[in-house]
Structure 1
């Protein structure tokens, strides 16, 4: 685990000054999605180790100072303040969109560079900022790809089971805006006052052909999936999870065969190039399981930051246009950043996007149903 520290230990001033430190944010405990956090951190650790094996940053070792956000925006903001006091050169990571937004807002206020790995919420900051960039495609981009997949498959009547969240509300709005002009309807079931039986009744009453899960895992997602699968009225209903829950092993473990055939968004190319394949093998060994797209996001995040720090210096000699000069081979394509309309941060436009599901015949295998975006080198 070269390149990582979980806690800051007392060190001499000379030793600290010799290091280049990046603050790494990830949800490592509940209620955060721990599996996503573990994959994200594994990717960041692998990249940091490779940077050090190649000589570090201008001869100085790279060190990750890891902070657990636990899916808590207030905890994330406090971590950013602490990491800034510790003198990190930049911030990396985070999976949950609402948490990343809190971290990005605080990083902007402090003038601390932050490369967000995985969060997709369009409004990552309220105002345009020169300090924040993002690798993951904006939610409006990825979820439109998902909506087009549904339309191409002939689906027009859609029900969403949703919990209260800025992220879920944004997703519903994107789906409605994209589907309505094309004859689609989106009916929302507010899970604060509903049960899995309510969802089934709504699907039947609306003659809907799709149920989208905009809810947490394991509950209420597991109960809803099992109820729909066993309701004879709903034979043939497509269940979808655009936020990507079925990507992770915990989904298959909790649902088994019921968890297959549920399309989700994944940010990988259809085929990895040589760099992606090599990193994928190393991540598999580190995780002892197949790496998710989140692990590749973590690797690319630290790889990009290392290149920026080499180019601009490790002591936060950042300028408002530093992101504009980035051009790095990542595991999923050539990464550079631009200003995208209605997106307030520097954005890689775009990472490759897939719609994928677990094969009902072999739930451990993924099927690519639709692709959009870049091609890996």
Structure 2
């Protein structure tokens, strides 16, 4: 499998009889800073494992499936350039990406080029400016997951919320969703600018505000990790719940950097309460491939290739035929049956919905997770 940064000389992709030439899938993932590289590594591991399984089962009509990987490094412009390059290389479809703003740029470019794109992990509701038949998504829309998270906060008795945030359409949208869900119950959301305030200053502002929960709508590891350390060390904030709806505590790096300080911080993840046989087997294989506990992001990667391989086997590698076939998808993924429909407000074909959990790391054993709510 070719996952090198730069592939061999580009060749036009053409249909033909099985002759050993691979079927190419373009893959986008954040593999270097400032992207969340650990999330990108888990995503890529899932994509690669599924490709290996497809090829072990005979490939696509006797032809091997091959990934052509590009590192987006959380840069929308870099993602757009990668999509253009991959389209010129003749990939049959595009897969992956973790960061929502980057995926949105990739989706717009793929739509303009007529390239089918199955987005693995990004959740921003409006993944495209206009409705398109070319783009589909596995991750739930942000509004679906974050409303579940807001309901968890309310159920736990938290209606006065502060958010430490950075400038981003993703964080701004999340703040709006929380405010919209909390307001009818008398809840409030105070924004604290994590770009302008040092961790100690943000703690001062939080203590003055009187919020009972602080949500980290910021990048990982910086400033998320320093903020957790500062809040945990501040006696004034001993009873303040820290939350991270975007899922930062899911990845093993969180525990490595924060230890016990990183436990008891609820976050969103997209797993069922119990995995079926396929999910269990894929989890075991991902654990071996990664050398650490796999996250739900690895399952998203695996499910992405599972869907695309099914479309390629049924409809060939013609891009227009693939894009027309999203409503025909009916596959068993690692987290349940996958089908796509048109969900208002997304503009794309959407799996509605993958399982959603609010979970945290167990304070008694930070390497274990507790499921606090499902949605």
> If the length of structure 2 is used for normalisation, what is the TM-score?
0.96
Shift in Å, 1:16: 9.0
* 2:88 paired residue number: 85
CA–CA separation in structure 2 for the residues paired with 1:184 and 1:147? 10
**Is contact 2:10–2:88 with CA below 8 Å preserved after alignment?**
no
2:8 aligned residue: 9
| Secondary structure of the structure 2 residue equivalent to 1:318 | helix
Counterpart for residue 49 of structure 2: 46
Please say if 1:140 is aligned against 2:143.
yes
Paired residues of 1:3 and 1:52 also in contact (CA < 8 A) = no
Distance in 2, matches of 1:99 and 1:11, equals: 25
Distance 2:168 2:243 in 1: 18
Aligned length: 371
Displacement of 1:6: 4.0
Map 1:1-377 onto structure 2 (within 5 A).
Answer: 2=1, 4-10=3-9, 18-318=21-321, 321-372=324-375
Shift of 1:5: 4.6
User: Equivalent residue of 1:18, what SS?
Assistant: coil
Contact 2:92/2:115 (8 A) holds in 1: yes
Q: 1:63 to 1:323 in 2, by over 3 A?
A: same
Distance 1:26 1:12, change over 3 A: closer
Q: C-alpha deviations, 1:287-319, integer Å up to 9, x for none?
A: 011110000000000110000111111232426
- Compare 197-206 and 233-242 and name the one that shifted more: 197-206
Q: Secondary structure at the match of 2:40?
A: helix
Residue by residue over 1:113-149, the C-alpha shift from the partner in whole angstroms, topping out at 9 and shown as x without a partner, is 0000000001110000000000000000000000000
- Please identify, of 318-327 and 80-89, the stretch whose mean Cα deviation from structure 2 is larger: 318-327
CA 1:319 to 1:7, structure 2 compared with 1: closer, same or farther past 3 Å?
A: closer
Asked if structure 2 preserves the Cα contact closer than 8 Å seen for 1:5 and 1:64, the reply is no
Q: Which moved more, 1:218-227 or 1:31-40?
A: 218-227
| Runs of at least 4 residues off by over 2 Å | 2-7, 9-18
TM-score (norm 1): 0.95
**Inter-CA distance 315–182: structure 2 relative to 1 (3 Å threshold):** same
The alpha-carbon deviation at position 198 of structure 1 amounts to 2.6
Runs of 5+ unmatched residues, structure 1: 373-377
Aligned CA RMSD, in angstroms, stands at 1.7
Aligned-pair CA distance for 1:203: 2.1
Please state how far the C-alpha of 1:181 moved relative to its aligned partner. Answer: 0.9
1:11 and 1:146 map into 2 onto residues whose CA distance is 45
Shift of 1:3: 6.4
Equivalent-residue separation in structure 2 for 1:315 and 1:193 (angstroms): 50
The structure-2 alpha-carbon separation of the partners of 1:165 and 1:220, relative to structure 1 and needing over 3 Å to count, comes to same
- Contact persistence 1:3–1:45 (CA under 8 A): no
Structure 1 SS opposite 2:367: strand
